[in-house]
Amino acid sequence: MENRKVALELRNISKSFPGVKALDDVSFSVDAGSVHVLVGENGAGKSTLIKIINGMYTADQGELYIFGKKITTHNPRYMKEIGVATIHQELNLVADLTVAENIFLGRIPTFGPKTVNKKRMIKEAQQLIDDLGFSYDAKRIMRTLTVSDMQIIEIIKAISVNAKVIIMDEPTSSITESEVAILHEQICKLKKMGISIVYISHKLEEIKQVGDIVTIMRDGKVISTHGVGELTTEEIITKMVGRKMDNVYPVKDAQVGEPLFEVKNFTQPKVFRDISFTVHKGEILGMAGLVGAGRTEVVRAIFGLDSHESGELYIDGRQIQVTKVSDAIKEGIIMLLEDRKLEGLVLIRSIAENIGLPNLKRYKGFLFNKRLERQDAEEIRKKLSIKTPSINTEAQSLSGGNQQKVVIAKWLLQNPRVFIMDEPTRGIDVGAKYEIYKIMCDLAALGAGVIMISSELPEIIGVCDRTLVMAEGRITGEVTRKDFSQERIMSYALGGAAVDGKE
């Protein structure tokens, strides 16, 4: 330990906001050339800690050191200059610029003070992409990429600034398994270069794959720090949530009943084709597949967000017409979109206002019934255990898990018959995931049908009664609970037949 070189050190960091103490006397250090994993439930203080490290927030008390130097100038520009880069969970890219322009944003090479050296920028960006083992065209416009591609570009951008400390906040939340493997390879290379990684992830299986040290946080405090391998996953979860979780998935009591919702021959050329399936009352139906398989595109068309060329929808055997979102809502079809911050919430509005938005007709009269809106919000806040000082709190100040509950809450007031959930637990900790699963089970118990898209096969297996598997815009397989296995589902996801001959 004599040769130990500390890249980042936090000493007794505390930070408070009105009504909540986000960080309470947090101390730990990150060795040079190591991966220090930070885990904890949503609301544990990880996001606040990241913002203090990268200069967005200033601690109320405590000290921050980079390679032994105490940081006294504390702002994002300065922290970048001294080698601290952050890959945020929420993408921070300009959609209408090229890949190269995004990589070099803020430091674009020029011929002089006013002329952009575009040729050099593209050449250097392409060289960087190629050297890292990716296959992107540096001249491609960002908005034409998938979410997973954009996440990889964020990673390339952070690596390109020659950072000494890189904070990775949920870097694998929306990328494929093959891309995860590439990312982990790059992290190994960065370690050999002496670069330190602070790695935040809710995917606990990643800890052993990529980490050296793990620090566990709860309620704004550091609970403990361990070498990877010293604790089992179950022990980490217990420390994270403050109690022993005997079950990661709730017991589903609802019985699958008669057919409720049917999709027949749904087609959108070049996107998806001949999609047909049935959802029963009380059923949680999974939709699995690799990123780009077409799952999201299908349900967006069902919900009226996107168009489709042909196909039919039925509820209780009655054909319905859905050409826009309001048609779907009128028929009791509700959808929880993948990006809760961009498409699910008005972040600068209060919890009560967000819950009230899709339900304005309920509150309209001679005057807007603000009292009823607040009453509904308070009742559903308690029902879903949304952790917040008040229903007047802005949605942007909530943790990811509580934001997701607010999105669900606003739709529950519609008494949905079919609830489509696209990646409902993305970026959410294990405790909050359990609560989301419980909401799904409760909906099923009331006779609703739930469709869940998920890229995490363990939760498909743990929650669903049956799952459809898609590849290249078509359904390639269907697996019932008794035949669930990751191998079987992945075989269909790759477009092949099921393993061991079972269809």
141-145, 172-176, 474-478: least confidently modelled range: 172-176
pLDDT of residue 100: 93
Angle subtended at Cα 271 by Cα 269 and Cα 272, rounded to the nearest 5 degrees: 85
Q: Which residues contact 278 (CB under 8 A, 6 or more apart)?
A: 259, 261, 262, 263
Residue scoring higher pLDDT (435 or 265):
265
What's residue 244's pLDDT? Answer: 66
Domain definitions of the chain by residue range: 6-241, 247-332+416-503, 340-414
Contact 165, 85 (CB under 8 A): yes
329 contacts: CB under 8 Å, gap ≥ 6: 358, 414
Give the separation between CA 351 and CA 405, rounded to whole angstroms.
10
Entry pTM: 0.69
Residue indicated by tokens 């970026």: 427
Q: How many CA atoms lie within 13 A of 425 on its CB side?
A: 28
397 vs 294, more confident:
294
Quick one: what percent of the chain has pLDDT higher than 70? 95
What is the CATH architecture assignment of 247-332+416-503? Answer: 3-Layer(aba) Sandwich (3.40)
- In this prediction, residue 385 carries a pLDDT of 86
Q: Whole-angstrom Cα distance, residue 142 to residue 285?
A: 33
pLDDT, mean of residues 27-34:
94
Which residues on adjacent β-strands are paired with residue 28?
10
The pLDDT, as a whole number, for residue 499 is 46
pLDDT tens digits for 344-356? Answer: 899 899 999 999 9
**164 burial via Cβ count (<10 Å: 0-12, 13-18, 19+):** middle
Q: 1: pLDDT confidence band, cut at 50, 70 and 90?
A: very low
Burial environment of residue 321 by CB neighbours within 10 A (0 to 12, 13 to 18, 19 or more): exposed
Please measure the distance between the N-terminal and C-terminal CA atoms of the chain and give it in whole angstroms.
56
Pairing of the two strands 165-169 and 272-280 = unpaired
Neighbours of 156 (CB within 10 A): 20
Q: How many CB atoms lie within 10 A of CB 27?
A: 14
pLDDT band at 275 (very low <50, low <70, confident <90, very high): very high
- Check if the beta carbon of residue 65 is closer than 8 Å to that of residue 11: yes
User: Residue 149's closest CA among 188, 218, 99?
Assistant: 99
Tens digits of residue pLDDT in 411-438: 988 889 999 999 998 877 777 888 899 9
As a CATH number, domain 6-241 is 3.40.50.300
pLDDT score, position 500: 46
Closest CA to 286 of 439, 420, 136: 420
pLDDT digits (tens, 9 = 90+) for 283-324: 999 999 887 789 999 999 999 999 999 999 999 999 999 999
247-332+416-503 matches 6-241 in CATH topology: yes
Structure confidence at residue 502 as a pLDDT band (50, 70, 90): very low
